[in-house]
Amino acid sequence: MTGTHLKLEETGTHPVPGPARTLSRILDSVMDAGRVILNRRRGNGGIASGQPDAIAEQCRELIDHRGEASGLALASEILGAYQDLPEEGRCNFFELLLRDFSTNPDKVIQAAENYRQQPEMERLNKLCKAIESPRHKLFRRLNQAPGGTSALVRMRSDLLDRLHERPEFSPIDSDINELLIAWFNRGFLLLERVNWDSSARVLEKIIEYEAVHEINGWDDLRGRLRQDRRLFAFFHPAMPDDPVIFIEIALGKGGATAIQPLLDSGRELIDSSVADTATFYSISNCHRGLQGISFGNFLIKQVTENLRLDLENIKRFETLSPIPGFRRWMQQAIDDGVAGDLLRNDLETASVLFDENRVPDDKTRDACQRLCAHYLVNEKRDGLPLDPVARFHLSNGAYLDRTNFGADASDAANHRSFGMMVNYVYKLSDIEKNHEAYFADGVVAASGNIRKLARV
């Protein structure tokens, strides 16, 4: 992305590299021809607005459609009509997808019986075809339309919004998610550094998608892209101006123990050539429709490698991470009671933190540090750490290095962890060893200080 984009504010346009521009012109030409063919065949202007039944009928046509140009035009028309549906209409459309585009059990049973009787390749292929739901083929056809990938990601987001109340929609989600996992395979993702010279479209998306530490406008964003900062993102070729996930990095001397200095746009800048630490302080997944598809582990490892090659002076790669479940666990532990006198004493001492009018003293801080280390190292579910951020970084091969009391003064941080944050360190020589020990035996890699605080 970098180096090929001009600012929208300056040009009002977004230039596309030559090959992509040529392909775009070809697709536009094919689409125009396809629309003419469709309209001539149907004798009308397209799908009736706001009519899920009409869209479903066009979906049936698309599944068996033969013409390439008219097929692209039809797919584009369907996606546009879906986008125009009101909330209730989209729910009705999902009901139609579930009712009319599911696998036919009778055909599966018959194909399976035929294969059982005579297990040959032709019958196996027929069985596989019977098992695949028509939705699967429909989504693949829709994806071929210009902008189809983005549209299907948004469609899955709509679907996820309804799954809690409509769990029967889960087969639809399974179909579309299976395809998205394949389409957003790591091999298709492009790692790009985002800086102030990136396109305005990309920069606007960064502001919009930041999910950990809100970016308050263009000046704030500029501060996060200065010489002592780095921002990397994964992009998909079908969504070149729309990041999939991005990570923000602060370059500094020594580890980071608080988030506010990293976010301060008026900070004293340091030259990246003298920095010895890279602190990953924010990772944002950009699309709810890609929920459940893992990108962060690849992103961190590739960015770490890029920084190592680009800045040989960087010796420490760490995070400054939130602890989203800590306060909730403490409250539950106090309510339910816990085994062990030491843990009970620390809970009693640290309980004053729930009173926001109380200023914690050193005794309270120490107790909170011990409780936090215990929570991250010892509290588990199914043999793995209870805290979701801990699960993410530890599974990637990082080790738990340090807890930081008062690291985040924001209200959100107070409500999830009394403002505490933690450093996970990615020591390149130990990443694979830590990763294997974590998944083989549930081992939480931790520094000696953390293990002492956690009493293990």
Active site residue 321: yes
Which two three-digit tokens encode residue 83?
């986008």
Sheet strands side by side (includes 245-252)? 190-193, 229-235, 245-252, 277-285, 316-319, 421-425, 399-404
CA distance 59 to 100: 10
CB atoms within 10 A of CB 162: 16
CA distance 373 to 392: 17
Active site residue 417: no
The active-site residue out of 321, 415, 417, 429 is: 321
Instruction: Kindly compute the dihedral angle of the four CA atoms of residues 360, 363, 364, 370, in this order, to the nearest 10 degrees.
Output: 140
Annotated catalytic sites, by residue? 321, 393
